[in-house]
Amino acid sequence: MIDRSLALSGPPLASATTAMLVVDMQKDRVDIGAPLFDPLAHEAIVPTRRMLELARATDVRVVFIAHAHRGDGSDRGRRADHRSAGRERPAPVEGTSGARICDALHPLPHEPLICKRRESAFFGTDLDTVLRSMRIETVVFTGSPASRALLPSVHDALARDYRTLFVHDPRTGTAPGTGDAIDTVLAAMAMTSAEVMSVDGFANLIMRERL
């Protein structure tokens, strides 16, 4: 099992150049009984809310990422082939209530919302432009560790020379049969593309700037 308190002794974060990315925490995925309900995404609400409060209190910028497609599916491309073969879960439909960020994590008016059509938060979006305009150097990913958006987004962030972190609460990932898979994802990420740490680990890094 990976140590999710990683990076407690790493270099501190400068809040002015750090952005927290809240990935795919939409009502269709996190609300109990929703059509695309993901129990791990639901479990991630509490630690993500804690991260949001910490980011807002320390002037870390917050950017929300939402995955949605047109209602007619015309923007799905070859993803539709995987769905018909049973290998692809549908995404929320643009413009519906289910595509909105869940109520517990509602964006503030000044916090950008980036809509994407593919797994990576960077592919085909203006996320990189938004981050560069904010003078961001470090991106901190939050959300469900089971999200298929996580690894592509983290890899794309690193490829664009951002310092890249993923914050994950050790208590998340308790859905039956998911523990080993989540640890594999987190271990691969830690070895290749991101600093993986707990919420407490992130708090330690961001607060050290203020000492």
- pLDDT score at 86: 42
> CA nearest 101: which of 89, 115, 88, 90?
115
Give me the helices (H) in the chain, please.
27-30, 39-43, 45-57, 79-84, 127-133, 150-159, 179-192, 199-208
Mean pLDDT of the chain: 81
Domain layout of the chain by residue ranges: 15-208
Measured over all CA atoms, what is the biggest interatomic distance in the chain, rounded to whole angstroms? 55
- pLDDT score at 169: 73
- pLDDT score at 77: 64
pLDDT tens digits for range 29-64: 889 998 888 888 888 899 999 999 999 999 999 999
- pLDDT score at 67: 87
Cα gap 52→84, rounded to integer Å? 37
Cα gap 91→76, rounded to integer Å? 9
Which pLDDT band holds residue 75 (cuts at 50, 70, 90)? low
Is 167 or 69 the better-scoring residue by pLDDT?
Answer: 167
The model's pTM = 0.83
Is 140 or 85 the better-scoring residue by pLDDT?
Answer: 140
The answer to whether the beta carbons of residues 136 and 16 sit under 8 Å apart is: no
> CA nearest 15: which of 75, 47, 55, 70?
55
Residue 76 pLDDT more than 50? Answer: yes
pLDDT tens digits for range 140-192: 999 877 677 788 899 999 999 999 999 987 555 455 455 666 777 777 788 88
- Mean pLDDT over 88-99 rounds to 74
- Mean pLDDT over 121-139 rounds to 96
Cα gap 30→20, rounded to integer Å? 19
Name the fold adopted by 15-208.
Rossmann fold (3.40.50)
